[in-house]
Amino acid sequence: MIVVTGGAGFIGSNLVYELNKTGSNDILVVDNLTEAEKYRNLAEARITDYQDKEDFAKALSGSSSWLDRIEVVFHQGACSSTTESDGRYMLRNNYQYSKELLEFCLERKIPFIYASSAAVYGAGSPFREEPGAERPLNVYGYSKSLFDSVVLRLLPDAGSQVVGLRYFNVYGPREAHKGPMASIVLQLDDQLSRGDKVRLFGPTRGYEAGEQRRDFIYVKDVVRVALWFAANPEKSGIFNCGTGRSRTFNEVASQVIRTRGHGEIEYVPFPESLRGHYQSYTEADLTQLRACGYSRDFVSLEEGVREYLLWRTDTGEV
């Protein structure tokens, strides 16, 4: 049995569907459906069972027979809001819960592949998986950095696979439930559906209007990387998961406009509330991922945005 925590969420649900495509249907999805609309992400998926995250956490310390059937855990569940101000909640949800699940997997020698984040780097550069590179700008990034540090301490003595993937800016199908935390691709497309303008931030921290840069990675690639590690259980470590190429927000907006066939860019003042908490530039250093053996090319921004927006049209999401 395969466990996918956060399986009703954005990356988790895409992972479930890709597992289905490869013939894997014996899947336990773990999530919190207080936000009930997330169920739509799994409406057509084939899974064996669903458990609430709190029930799953309690079960880990028990002796249920199904625990012995777990072959791999994809830990995608987390609070991903970069503006969350409740540090106690964030640390309990992203750090303590992850530690408990990691300990369970190490004890039973179950491969553990989990979601970290490029938010651990903050505004710093270079974006390499090395000590001292982590300078998070918010408690979300701190919660991920703190757990990564636990993993790095335990890795030398780990008797089974542990992989952390530091996701950069992921976009793609099944993210609509994320609201303001959804990708800029979805937000711009929604703006175009309501009018003829897309809005980007004006100048900030030395960047001209719309020229802030991020490493945008299509969710299909994120899933491919995770499944590659699952197929190579001898590989462990913490790895960047981006394309290795930063692109401007202007380029993203232009591709959205090009795909939809209409629209123009409008620039708005940079919010005071984000000053000091915003990554104006990210670009994954893929040296360690490539050295580990992952050689597949990544989907280009142009191809990924086009495919994603056509998916939104075909499924009636917009």
pLDDT score at 4: 98
Look at residue 152 and tell me if it is in a domain. yes
Q: Is 38 one of the annotated active-site residues of the chain?
A: no
Look at residue 181 and tell me if it is in a domain. no
Q: Is the pLDDT of residue 80 over 70?
A: no
CATH number of the domain residue 159 falls in: 3.40.50.720
pLDDT mean over 72-77: 96
Q: Is the pLDDT of residue 81 over 70?
A: no
pLDDT category, 150, cuts 50, 70, 90? very high
Measure Cα distances from 50 to 22, 30, 32, 54, 275 in Å. Answer: 20, 6, 10, 12, 40
Q: Which of 140, 171, 218, 281 is catalytic?
A: 140
Look at residue 40 and tell me if it is in a domain. yes
Instruction: Provide the token pair at 120.
Output: 């651990």
Look at residue 295 and tell me if it is in a domain. no
Instruction: Provide the token pair at 62.
Output: 């028990």
Q: Is the pLDDT of residue 276 over 80?
A: no
Q: Is 178 one of the annotated active-site residues of the chain?
A: yes
Q: What is the pLDDT of residues 177-202, one digit of tens each?
A: 999 889 999 999 999 999 999 999 99
pLDDT mean over 6-31: 97
Q: Which of 53, 99, 178, 220 is catalytic?
A: 178
Entry pTM: 0.95
97: domain range? Answer: 2-171+218-242
Look at residue 30 and tell me if it is in a domain. yes
pLDDT score at 125: 72
Count of C-beta atoms within a 10 Å radius of residue 86: 12
Q: How many independent structural domains does the chain possess?
A: 1
Look at residue 111 and tell me if it is in a domain. yes
